[in-house]
Structure 1
Amino acid sequence: MATEKNALVASPKTQKVIKLIPPDGGWGWMVLLGTAMSNIFNQSMLSLFSLLYGDALEAMGHRTQGAAIVMSTMLFVTNFGGPIAGAVVKLTSTRFVAVTGACFCTAGIFFSGFSTNIFHLVLTYGILLGLGLGFIQNSSFVAINSYFKLKKSRAVGLANVGTGVGQTLMPHLVRYLLEHFGFRGACLLLSSLSLHGIAGTMLIQPVEWHMKKIEEEVPVDENLHLLQEKAKDLSLRNLSQSNGDAQNQANGKENIGKRTLSNKELNGGKVNKSDANGLNGATHVAPSPQKQNMLTKLYDLFGISLLSNVRFLNIVIGTALAVTSIQNFSMLFPFFLQNAASMDKQQTANCMSAVAAADIAGRLILPIFQDKYKIKARWMLIMTSVWLIVVRQILAYQTNIEVLLVMSCLYGMGRSMIIVARNIAISEFCRMDQVPAAVGLGMLTMGVIVPPVGYFLGWIRDFSGSYITCITAQNILLVILLVTWVPDMLYLLMKERRQKKLDAEQPQT
């Protein structure tokens, strides 16, 4: 009986509160549909440049070097447009930024059809399309991140499936359009298809419209409750004093002194000399907050404070290295198959199709696995990096078509997880309001790291004359990720377990 009485006394008081949580579905699936639609017709343009603009560039008197200028401009603008998109999301909404990005993409594809020199292509494909893709990448992830919590990885994977589908189907469509309508007709028809991306991004509605209400019991802090009641009484007393008669107004200084003392009592503080002077008749005026200057506003808008955190820098640099590694391997893979593995064009196409098919399957399957076992995105990237290191190192020594097809599938599965989890890893570190700026800074980091590191990897291939050496160098980038991430993740894991242990022991003390 005594034990039951003690248990009743020890049990904390609780109160029911209404809490708003992301829907983890509902209209979120429509947001995914819209994002996937935009990816099919816009993000797939990244892989269509040589096919669509190759002959036009040659007619302008430019070949590989001209293509490199346009593509480098587009990638630079896409990555450096990320922070701009993050800032605009804070000022407006994810829907506005996504629709604006889709409009930029449509305009870039449309006007590129009228290009007569390389400067026109740099302006249309490089700048307009690049800025549009940067806006779409940032805003679409922020929208998905706000709609999904438990199923976030699965949702991002489904949205990215649109990119894989576009990269698989669009080359055949572009070839057909070029054969029947010519370069300008193909660009105009592709820009009309890009309008579907605008319709898709219009499906991104504010998550506040679709939040779920749940009832949750939370413990009540009695001391905090008393302080809140005292503060409420104090506010009512002050209000009545401000609405009092002329006599109360004449004694305003004394009331101010009393209010100052009450606030000090409420906060558990002591009366200092300045407070005493206030009680003796001197009016206590709180210093007015200084207005933020332009630099401070920009500092907050772009989330520059995140760069002062070593863990955040470790995350964005690691994800940039992972993306650089897979992008460089994707560019090198066809040349490796033809020159090192002695594959013909049909066999090369089969291997690349195997990579694309496995990539799509991975974006559908691996996120379900991650959500089911609640694995953090950084751990998924760590496991994927180990997977890719082993698969690519084995693949580098193969010349048999059957083995290469199997290894291509295994590589495609691993590559899909890098694409899906990179932004999720960044968002896991941040508060919800910091996600747009954090994703933008992640894109900016890729814009800084990808070009020089990619150039260095190309130099290694030309200097050594060996594809095996170049693939090994690409794997070293993933080794750097493992060396910098694994100790930090183990530290966080042990810290979390210690905290759980302390929480479990707390009721017993």
Structure 2
Amino acid sequence: MGEVHKDSKLVAPDGGWGWIVVIGVSVVNLATRSIEPSFGLLFGDKLRGLGVETTGASAIMSTLDATINFSGLFVGPLIRKYSYRKVALVGSALSALGLIATFPAESMAHMISTYSIVGGLGVGFAWSSTFVALNHYFSKKRGQAVGLSMVGTGLGMLAMPQAVQLLLEAYSFRGAVLVLGGISLHAIVGSMLLQPVKWHVKTEKHMKIEETEQHESKGTECETQLPLVEKSDVAALTASAPADIEKQEPTGKKQSQHLFRIVSTASMLSHRRKVSVISSISSMDFTGSTAHVHTHVVSDDEDDHFGGLVMKKLGRKRSSAARNCAKKLLPTSEKKKVKDEPKLSTHPSHESYWKRVVHFMDLDLLKDPIYLNILFGLSIFYVAEVNFKMVVPFFLHDLGYTKQDTAFFLSMTAVSDILARAVLPPICDRVKITRRILFMIAAIFLGLSRSVLAEQTDYTALMATLVISGLFRGATLINFTLTISEYCSLDKLPAAFGLHMVAKGLFIVILSPPIGVIRDVSGSYPLCIHSQTLLILICVAAWAIEYIVTRTSSKKKKGATASTDNTVNDTDAQYVILIILWISKTLSTMPERYSIPLSSTAVRRTDDGSGQKHIVQTSYGKSRVM
């Protein structure tokens, strides 16, 4: 019979203090990120006074985004060396310091050095650390946690435009910046709530039966038999055996009979009699594997000597065989984690400096083509998102709407955004569709709704399309970062998220200027928004192509090898096909729906100073009173 032991495993809390962490992350997001959509309202008059309105806004925001994203190079190593809590505290302090130090600014260089660089570095550290903390506290309810934590950003987007407008009227630019800097200090309080997960982990107990009798030891075979001792090894063992190992029984028959048989390692060990031999291989985890063993029927003493040689040879093959067997016995959901684990170097002393850097920063992730495609899609979507937020206030101003109107439009967009982030995460956690598929579906509707928005001029139509766009924005962003945590193991997540931020920074630097050129050359804000929709569709198309290629290759390997984590299930494949058909239809009809000749006009409202509104016909940058 066997002895029963209790074995424990630490699992994510999926609740408890985790919900306090969600509140802390919401506070950090509210204090550090909510001011960004109101940048034009806060800095607009100041930049106009310096004579660098458009150029200054573009330079400051581009530097801010680049700093936030390139801080990802340091996030992974810092979190690994210290903790996500300490990094979040430092980031929150830097974010507040950068904003407060901007209040006496009288030049664009001052704003870039304080608001963009110091503040951007702090926002990058704080944002990345909070995301890593959430992924440590939640596993099954990760989508709900991330969605609810993003509500803080949505609330900030809702309240901040109105708050900025009131602060500017009451305290002017300097006073408003100081008050907002004080608000951003609350991020430190939120960071304090990010306690180490080891303080709150749950212990999951399961039963483990350990066999005590030698002959009851039975193992489960791996999917493929592992030749722990090769035929060449058998020959070497036979040659090294004593010459007198072959003895004659009284009957005159030779006692050695050279037989090859496949035996279970566990059953082979059960036939051993000497404790010393068993102890020498006690650390070997071979149960369930098979070995080709060349056996002799010999006396006990010679059997011990020859068995020792066999055990010695088996010991040399212990590491590789045990690892291979363990990988094959792992469930499918765990195979990727084994794949992501760094391989041990057999010659660490000769490892080059570059290899040490790669290992320390987990740059081996860049060898994974699927991860690179995820980075490409998320980065190109991020470019469209950032440029849309920057363009919308100018687009509404070009149509003749006041600052109060613009603030109200942005606030209503934030309301629908918050609604989507609060309602959709529990639904997304229950549906059997991957996060990337959900992201792709929402992204398509987001891009199309923004293109429809670009063609509107009426107040009611603008409000309706902005609200719908806000809903799809929330549905998209709740799955934005989860596409990374869904693919990468938890130990690789800080580095994966850091590289993701760096990729976003690179794409912002590369693609934002061409989008600005489109606006400057054409003089058309609608055309600029349509170009952002095109970027979103490129993201969806790149992922759809990957799914098709992966699906095709997995079909070819079906039956020959086990399916991997990258294999697409049938439900996902159907959604991908529908998405591709939708994109094809959309691209074919866009020239008819959204053709924007430079001579076309848009209705604009303006005020001549007398308090009366007049209708003006705008030809994308050129206006005249009708």
TM-score by length of 2: 0.65
**Aligned equivalents of 1:198 and 1:139: distance in 2?**
13
> Which deviates the most, 470-479 or 457-466?
457-466
Task: Supply the AA of the counterpart residue of 1:201.
Answer: S
Higher-RCO chain (CA-CA 8 Å, sequence separation at least 6)? 1
Is the contact made by 2:158 and 2:410 (CA closer than 8 Å) also made in structure 1?
no
Is the contact made by 1:153 and 1:420 (CA closer than 8 Å) also made in structure 2?
yes
Q: Which residue of 2 aligns with 1:247?
A: none
Instruction: Sort the Cα spacing of 1:177 and 1:96 in 2 relative to 1 into closer, same or farther, 3 A.
Output: same
SS in 2 for 1:20: strand
Matched, 1:262 2:320: no
Q: Which residue of 2 aligns with 1:119?
A: 109
Shift, 1:155, TM fit: 1.0
Question: Deviations for 1:159-201, whole angstroms, at most 9, x for unmatched residues?
Answer: 1111121122233333444444444443333333222111110
Shift, 1:379, TM fit: 0.7
Q: What aligned pairs does 1:305-316 form with structure 2 within 5 A after superposition?
A: 305-316=364-375
Is the contact made by 1:227 and 1:266 (CA closer than 8 Å) also made in structure 2?
no
Q: Which residue of 2 aligns with 1:103?
A: 93
Q: What aligned pairs does 1:400-411 form with structure 2 within 5 A after superposition?
A: 400-411=458-469
Q: Which residue of 2 aligns with 1:369?
A: 427
Task: Supply the AA of the counterpart residue of 1:222.
Answer: G
Q: Which structure shows the higher helix fraction?
A: 1
Shift, 1:223, TM fit: 6.2
SS in 2 for 1:84: helix
Instruction: Sort the Cα spacing of 1:393 and 1:176 in 2 relative to 1 into closer, same or farther, 3 A.
Output: closer
Match of 1:424 among 482, 489, 492: 482
SS in 1 for 2:20: helix
Question: Deviations for 1:111-132, whole angstroms, at most 9, x for unmatched residues?
Answer: 2224343333222111110000
Task: Supply the AA of the counterpart residue of 1:137.
Answer: W
Question: Deviations for 1:49-90, whole angstroms, at most 9, x for unmatched residues?
Answer: 333344444555644323333222211111100121122111
Question: Deviations for 1:326-366, whole angstroms, at most 9, x for unmatched residues?
Answer: 222233333444546x6566554443332111111111112
Q: Which residue of 2 aligns with 1:226?
A: 266
Instruction: Sort the Cα spacing of 1:178 and 1:398 in 2 relative to 1 into closer, same or farther, 3 A.
Output: closer
Instruction: Sort the Cα spacing of 1:43 and 1:238 in 2 relative to 1 into closer, same or farther, 3 A.
Output: same
Q: What aligned pairs does 1:351-500 form with structure 2 within 5 A after superposition?
A: 351-489=409-547
Instruction: Sort the Cα spacing of 1:67 and 1:458 in 2 relative to 1 into closer, same or farther, 3 A.
Output: closer
Is the contact made by 2:162 and 2:407 (CA closer than 8 Å) also made in structure 1?
no
SS in 1 for 2:150: helix
Is the contact made by 2:269 and 2:278 (CA closer than 8 Å) also made in structure 1?
no
Q: Which residue of 1 aligns with 2:294?
A: none
Instruction: Sort the Cα spacing of 1:306 and 1:218 in 2 relative to 1 into closer, same or farther, 3 A.
Output: farther
Matched, 1:331 2:321: no
Shift, 1:266, TM fit: 4.6
Q: Which residue of 1 aligns with 2:378?
A: 319
Is the contact made by 1:107 and 1:191 (CA closer than 8 Å) also made in structure 2?
yes
Q: Which residue of 2 aligns with 1:290?
A: 349
Matched, 1:69 2:27: no
RMSD of the alignment, in Å? 3.7
SS in 1 for 2:181: helix
Q: Which residue of 2 aligns with 1:85?
A: 75
Q: Which structure shows the higher strand fraction?
A: 2
Is the contact made by 1:158 and 1:363 (CA closer than 8 Å) also made in structure 2?
yes
Instruction: Sort the Cα spacing of 1:89 and 1:126 in 2 relative to 1 into closer, same or farther, 3 A.
Output: same
Q: Which structure: larger Rg? A: 2
Instruction: Sort the Cα spacing of 1:414 and 1:259 in 2 relative to 1 into closer, same or farther, 3 A.
Output: farther
Q: Which runs of 5+ in 1 are unaligned?
A: 1-12, 240-256, 270-285, 504-509
> Which deviates the most, 213-222 or 183-192?
213-222
Is the contact made by 1:52 and 1:183 (CA closer than 8 Å) also made in structure 2?
yes
Pairs aligned (count): 458
Is the contact made by 2:151 and 2:421 (CA closer than 8 Å) also made in structure 1?
yes
Is the contact made by 2:395 and 2:525 (CA closer than 8 Å) also made in structure 1?
yes
Is the contact made by 1:301 and 1:437 (CA closer than 8 Å) also made in structure 2?
no
Is the contact made by 1:319 and 1:422 (CA closer than 8 Å) also made in structure 2?
yes
Is the contact made by 1:83 and 1:439 (CA closer than 8 Å) also made in structure 2?
no
Instruction: Sort the Cα spacing of 1:233 and 1:464 in 2 relative to 1 into closer, same or farther, 3 A.
Output: farther
Q: Which runs of 5+ in 2 are unaligned?
A: 211-217, 222-264, 283-305, 319-344, 564-626
Shift, 1:292, TM fit: 4.2
Question: Deviations for 1:427-470, whole angstroms, at most 9, x for unmatched residues?
Answer: 22211111111111111111011233222122223333444433
**Aligned equivalents of 1:95 and 1:455: distance in 2?**
36
Q: Which residue of 2 aligns with 1:131?
A: 121
> Which deviates the most, 30-39 or 419-428?
419-428
Q: Which residue of 2 aligns with 1:302?
A: 361
**Aligned equivalents of 2:510 and 2:501: distance in 1?**
15
Task: Supply the AA of the counterpart residue of 2:69.
Answer: N
**Aligned equivalents of 1:78 and 1:196: distance in 2?**
19
**Aligned equivalents of 2:193 and 2:316: distance in 1?**
48
Task: Supply the AA of the counterpart residue of 1:127.
Answer: I
Is the contact made by 2:73 and 2:502 (CA closer than 8 Å) also made in structure 1?
yes
Task: Supply the AA of the counterpart residue of 1:299.
Answer: V
Task: Supply the AA of the counterpart residue of 1:443.
Answer: M
Instruction: Sort the Cα spacing of 1:72 and 1:399 in 2 relative to 1 into closer, same or farther, 3 A.
Output: closer
Question: Deviations for 1:199-231, whole angstroms, at most 9, x for unmatched residues?
Answer: 110111121221112234689972698399899
Matched, 1:20 2:10: yes
**Aligned equivalents of 1:361 and 1:109: distance in 2?**
29
